[in-house]
């Protein structure tokens, strides 16, 4: 930490949200202690924001200048030297700094040693003398100060009153910030203000901002990749069962639903971990997994296209999916011809056709998850990723999926389902639900789908 390029001191009364702010800035839900009672942070606690594994900004979470009124009085009475920075320095070396004002001295020491001070204000509070004196002390210490207004969306917020007060003190760089949410723009504004107040920080803060952007993009990509993996696993999974009667299909279908549910939770857990959250940060609603058992509709028109039957041939266009499937089973040569003509995916087409033929001969039917459920799963995971991208690491309540957002994502996928999903339908070997899903084709499909989903996940 001592090697960090930039040193930032956080000053503010207890419960103004200092620890919360740090959790969100460094993306660590475990940093410090947050409790809704007085004086949680008694000593100066430090943490750092890393760029490429190196500490770039060291943050010091100070307990604030508790008795700022008395301290200011004490410093004013001493009268010497004239220069306030020197006077503060003298005080810090004095006996009083060890005894009477030990707590205040601890914070003041951090303040004078840092490049920027972030003064955290709970704007629900009245503009009182203790704040004025504390701010006066900060101004006298001649450090660049950014007043950070917290609890800005509370009905009791006195945003304007505080801003006016700060301006009168000569503090123009104030900024509203909600540490419970992760807001890329607000973060950028904070760093821009730091840059404006201390030009020496221009370059390193540029690196910090670029790194945060990269991190966000990386998270978006990783989230999209996790979702792609889940969707291919689920779409491709169609275990064949012997269809004696409808009743006999009930158990396998229930089992399939349970497997898919578990697979979704696995994906969500991985996503939470990637974003630096844990399972308690997400409160998922139950999902209804609609399964079907039907060899005909299993092969939708879209997937038939991937088997080499094009609408131009007049078969798929004029026939129902079921009829086309029967044609396939009965006339393997058609598929073979089509498959050899295809540059990509010839093998999986062949495999899918022979698999269907085998199933048919054995009197088996595939059970599978319906498209509606597949899209619902996609929408749920996209909404989760979206929510996590906006979630601050100081957030208190577990995330619940936003119903409007969920509906929007579902609608967008349903309108234009990524083509890879139809391909996955007829490629059971792609499903990791049976065993390890490997292979170059699957990998290519996954990357394809990842890119499509990443574009959907355009939050900012």
Ligand X SMILES: Nc1nc2c(ncn2[C@@H]2O[C@H](COP(=O)(O)OP(=O)(O)O)[C@@H](O)[C@H]2O)c(=O)[nH]1
Distance, in Å, from the CA atom of 363 to the CA atom of 370, rounded to the nearest integer, reads 21
User: Site for Mg ion (CB under 5 A): which residue of 29, 41, 178, 371?
Assistant: 41
Min. distance of Cβ 124 from ligand X in angstroms?
9
Q: Please, are residues 175 and 193 in contact by the beta-carbon 8 Å criterion?
A: yes
Residue 296: phi and psi, rounded to 5, are -85, -55
Q: Pinpoint the alpha helices (H) of 285-402.
A: 295-298, 301-306, 315-318, 321-330, 332-341, 346-361, 371-389
Q: Closest CB to Mg ion among 19 and 381?
A: 19
Nearer to ligand X among residue 176 and residue 252 (C-beta): 176
**What is the gyration radius of the CA atoms in the chain, in angstroms?**
30
Binding stretches for ligand X (CB under 6 A): 12, 14-20, 34, 36, 40-41, 150-151, 178-180, 396
- Of all residues in the shown chain, the one whose CB is closest to ligand X is 17
User: Min. distance of Cβ 59 from ligand X in angstroms?
Assistant: 12
Among 40, 259, 447, 459, binds Mg ion (CB under 5 A): 40
Among 40-48, 143-151, 379-387, 419-427, the segment contacting Mg ion (CB under 5 A): 40-48
Q: Which does 179 bind (CB under 5 to 8 A by kind): Mg ion, ligand X, none?
A: ligand X
Contact in structure between 31 and 179 (CB atoms under 8 Å): no
Residue 265's φ and ψ, nearest 5 degrees, are: -65, -35
Nearest CA-CA partner of 89 in 113, 65, 58, 57: 113
Which of Mg ion, ligand X, none does residue 36 bind to, with CB < 5 to 8 Å depending on kind?
A: ligand X
Q: Which does 396 bind (CB under 5 to 8 A by kind): Mg ion, ligand X, none?
A: ligand X
DSSP reduced 3-state for 61 = strand
Q: How far is the CB of 159 from ligand X (least distance, A)?
A: 12
Contact partner at residue 180 from Mg ion, ligand X, none, CB < 5 to 8 Å by partner kind? ligand X
| Closer of 111 and 453 to Mg ion (Cβ) | 111
* Residue 46 interaction partner, one of ligand X, Mg ion, none, beta carbon < 5-8 Å per kind: none
28 binds Mg ion (CB under 5 A): no
Number of other residues whose CB lies within 10 A of the CB of residue 54:
11
Two structure tokens written together for 175 = 């900024």
Left, alpha or beta for 448 (phi > 0: left; psi -120 to 50: alpha)? alpha
Tokens of 301: 């028109």
By CB under 5 A, residue 178 contacts Mg ion: no
CA 383/CA 396 separation, integer angstroms? 19
Task: Identify the residue whose tokens are 């549910």.
Answer: 261
Which CB sits closer to Mg ion, 44 or 196? 44
Residue facing Mg ion at closest CB distance: 19
Which C-beta is closer to Mg ion: that of 38 or that of 246? 38
**C-alpha span between 188 and 207 (Å, rounded):** 12
Q: How many binding residues for Mg ion (CB under 5 A)?
A: 3
Toward Mg ion, which CB reaches closer, 19 or 376?
19
Residue from 16, 19, 24, 300 touching Mg ion (CB under 5 A): that is 19
Binding site residues, Mg ion, CB under 5 A = 19, 40-41
């Amino acid at each position: 930490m001592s090697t960090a390029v930039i040193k930032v001191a956080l000053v503010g009364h207890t419960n103004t949200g200092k620890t919360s702010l740090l959790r969100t800035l460094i993306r660590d839900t475990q940093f410090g202690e947050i409790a809704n009672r007085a004086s949680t942070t008694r000593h100066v606690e430090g943490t750092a924001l890393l760029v490429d594994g190196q500490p770039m900004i060291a943050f010091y979470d100070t307990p604030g200048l508790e008795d700022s009124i008395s301290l200011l009085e004490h410093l004013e009475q001493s009268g010497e030297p004239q220069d306030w920075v020197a006077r503060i320095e003298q005080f810090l070396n004095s006996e009083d700094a060890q005894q009477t004002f030990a707590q205040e001295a601890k914070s003041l020491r951090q303040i004078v040693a840092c490049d920027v001070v972030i003064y955290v204000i709970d704007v629900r509070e009245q503009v009182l003398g203790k704040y004025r004196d504390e701010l006066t002390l900060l101004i006298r210490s001649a450090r660049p100060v950014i007043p950070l207004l917290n609890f800005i969306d509370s009905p009791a917020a006195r945003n304007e009153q505080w801003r006016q007060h700060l301006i009168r003190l000569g503090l123009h760089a104030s900024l509203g910030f909600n540490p419970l949410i992760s807001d890329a723009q607000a973060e950028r504004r904070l760093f821009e203000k730091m840059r404006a107040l201390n030009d020496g920080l221009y370059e390193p803060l540029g690196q910090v901002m670029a790194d945060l952007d990269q991190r966000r993009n990386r998270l978006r990509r990783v989230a999209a990749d996790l979702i792609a993996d889940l969707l291919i696993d689920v779409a491709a999974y169609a275990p064949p069962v012997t269809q004696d009667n409808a009743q006999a299909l009930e158990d396998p279908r229930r089992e399939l639903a349970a497997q898919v549910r578990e697979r979704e939770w696995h994906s969500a857990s991985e996503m939470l971990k990637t974003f630096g959250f844990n399972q308690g940060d997400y409160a998922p609603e139950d999902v209804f997994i609609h399964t079907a058992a039907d060899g005909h509709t299993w092969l939708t028109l879209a997937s038939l296209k991937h088997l080499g039957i094009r609408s131009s041939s007049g078969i798929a266009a004029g026939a129902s999916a079921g009829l086309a499937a029967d044609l396939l089973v009965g006339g393997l040569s058609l598929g073979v011809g089509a498959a050899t003509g295809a540059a990509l995916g010839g093998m999986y087409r062949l495999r899918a056709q022979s698999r269907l033929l085998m199933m048919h001969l054995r009197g088996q039917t595939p059970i599978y998850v319906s498209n509606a459920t597949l899209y619902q799963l996609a929408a749920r995971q996209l909404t989760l990723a979206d929510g996590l991208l906006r979630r601050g690491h100081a957030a208190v309540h577990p995330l619940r999926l936003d119903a409007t957002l969920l509906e929007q994502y579902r609608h967008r996928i349903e309108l234009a389902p990524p083509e890879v999903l139809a391909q996955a339908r007829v490629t059971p070997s792609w499903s990791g639900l049976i065993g390890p899903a490997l292979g170059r084709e699957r990998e290519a499909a996954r990357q394809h789908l990842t890119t499509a989903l990443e574009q959907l996940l355009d939050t900012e």
